[in-house]
Amino acid sequence: MGLAEKYIPHYTYDDWVRWEGRWELIEGHPIAMSPMPVPEHQRVAAELITELTLALRKSGCKDCKAYDSIDYKIAENTIFEPDILIVCGKINKSYLDFPPAVIIEILSKSTEERDRGIKYQYYEQEGVKYYLIVDIKKKTIKFMN
């Protein structure tokens, strides 16, 4: 049909901020994050955040903190919600608008292709120092850069 091609809106942050439910935005396209990730995904995320928080505390680093998923606004039309982040410096807005030091994505069937592909491209382009991918099935954590 190809109807939508002519009339699909190109969404921006101002649209995204009004939407209900959990959505990412990639170059103006809405990407649904519902339904919630499976319990195993959430458990692994919780364990990782705990480890990271403890490690940061132990190291005495006052500047960097570990975060559960927050909105990372890369551009007016691109907003991601990484699973775990380590951010050095203060976040003054309701979203992050500068590159974090670390991003960790936990793979799931619906997100794997994007996590390995376009998100990797963007995170690298933006200067995210470390990007890690967690594969629960294979029990691996891989540094992407």
Partner 1 sequence: MGLSNKIIPHYTYDDYIQWEGRWELIEGHPIAMSPMPIPVHQQLSANLIYEFKDELKKKCKDCKVYSPLDYKVSEDTTIQPDVLIVCGKIKKSCLDFPLSWLLKFFSPSTTLRDRNTKYIIYQEQGVKYYLIVDADKKVIEIYPVD
Q: For the chain, give the number of residues.
A: 145
Residue 24 Rama label (left phi>0; alpha psi -120 to 50; beta):
beta
Phi and psi torsions of 9, nearest 5°? -70, 155
Least distance (Å) between residue 74 CB and partner 1 = 11
Q: Residue 144 CB, nearest distance to partner 1 (Å)?
A: 17
Rounded CA separation 31/34 (Å):
9
Q: Pick the stretch among 6-14, 42-50, 57-65, 87-95 that binds partner 1 (CB under 8 A).
A: 6-14
H or E element, residue 16: helix 13-16
Binding letters toward partner 1, positions 107-126, x by CB under 8 A: ---x--xx--xx--x-----
Which spans of this chain sit near partner 1 (rule: CB under 8 A)? 1-4, 6-9, 11, 15, 18-22, 26-27, 29-32, 34-35, 110, 113-114, 117-118, 121
